[in-house]
Structure 1
Amino acid sequence: MLKNQAISLQYYYVQGKGNIVSDMGGEKVMLSIHNGKYYNLGEIGGRIWELLSQPVGIAEIVTSLMSEYEVEQRECELEVISFIEMLSKEGLIESGEDHGLL
């Protein structure tokens, strides 16, 4: 898990195990089996969660979102990093160093 680790462009990120995710009116909601908390990921957060189904880097997430939504690159990068930090702090994702996976 990624707790207390800085978010890095050299890492890939992937969904952690033990989360139940449902689509509710176009927004994703999630229940963490590990901590018993519910999370409303929203529409864009839900899309990021989908991208995290396979090991992915922040740059790849940003590129995907910019092709799907009207957003400036810098704003998108900041929002993605903030979202990844939240997922990390809550123990919902895992990470590893990029060893040619990206």
Structure 2
Amino acid sequence: MDRNTLIHLKKQISVTDLSGEKVMIDFDSGKYYMLKGVGNDIWDLIQSDITAGEIINKLLSEYDVTEDVCTSSVFTFLTKLKEIEFID
């Protein structure tokens, strides 16, 4: 994965907002997931196709974080989403 990687949601996930956190249900696996903080922002951004670099740039404009930390955190989060087959 790099900044040019196109992020695309692979399947529809049932998402409910609960006190500032997102609770997600994957009906295929029967598993529940919870997102909070910046994870919520990334999830909102990937509702339409977007590159990893665009996500990083958006977060850099909104948060006081270094580019290296932001990039590493975004790649880690997106890798986890890929592992659970939420994104291509």
Pairwise same-fold verdict (TM > 0.5): yes
Q: Given that residues 27 and 46 in structure 1 are in contact (C-alpha distance below 8 angstroms), is that contact kept between their aligned partners in structure 2? A: yes
Q: Does 1:34 align with 2:39?
A: no
Aligned length: 88
Matched letter for residue 54 of structure 2:
E
Q: Does 1:10 align with 2:4?
A: yes
Q: Does 1:68 align with 2:70?
A: no
CA distance in 1 between counterparts of 2:8 and 2:17 reads 19
- Which runs of 4 or more aligned residues in structure 1 lie more than 3 Å from their structure 2 counterparts after TM superposition? none
In the other structure, the counterpart of 2:84 is 90
Which of 25, 41, 51 lines up with 1:47 in the alignment? 41
Secondary structure, counterpart of 1:53 in structure 2:
coil
Q: Which runs of 5+ in 2 are unaligned?
A: none
After superposition, the Cα gap between the structure-2 partners of 1:47 and 1:8, relative to the gap in structure 1 and judged at 3 Å, is same
Q: In percent, how many aligned pairs have the same letter? A: 33
RMSD: 1.2
Shift of 1:93: 1.1
CA distance in 2 between counterparts of 1:14 and 1:43 reads 21
Q: Which runs of 5+ in 1 are unaligned?
A: 1-6, 95-102
Matched letter for residue 61 of structure 1:
I
